């Protein structure tokens, strides 16, 4: 698995995940939207930590700077 996410991409995903989690835990969002949001936040956190986004692969996208 080749890393394909840059630092800015990872930071944005983590920030969005934290915002979604904050909205959920303060009961701003609830129901089905909340469940979908928490799952999405989990995926964002996971992909940020492993620096790999499977959706980028078929399109050949990489936000990582090559050294």
Residue-wise pLDDT for 19-52, tens only, equals: 999 999 999 999 999 999 999 999 999 999 999 9
Residue 48 phi/psi, 5-degree rounding, is -70, -40
Residue 67, pLDDT above cutoff 80: no
- What pLDDT score does 20 carry? 97
Residue 65, pLDDT above cutoff 90: no
Which DSSP string corresponds to 26-45? TTSS-HHHHHHHHHHHHHHH
Q: What is the mean pLDDT of residues 1-26?
A: 95
Q: What is the mean pLDDT of residues 44-66?
A: 92
Both tokens of 1, joined, read: 């698995």
- What pLDDT score does 1 carry? 82
Scan for tokens 């701003």, then name that residue: 28
CA angle 20, 40, 57 (to 5 degrees): 135
């Amino acid at each position: 698995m080749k890393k394909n996410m840059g630092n800015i991409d990872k930071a944005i995903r983590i920030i969005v995940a934290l915002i979604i989690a904050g909205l959920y835990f303060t009961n701003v969002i609830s129901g089905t939207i909340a469940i979908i949001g928490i799952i999405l936040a989990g995926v964002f956190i996971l992909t940020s930590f492993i620096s790999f986004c499977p959706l980028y692969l078929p399109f050949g996208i990489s936000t990582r700077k090559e050294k």
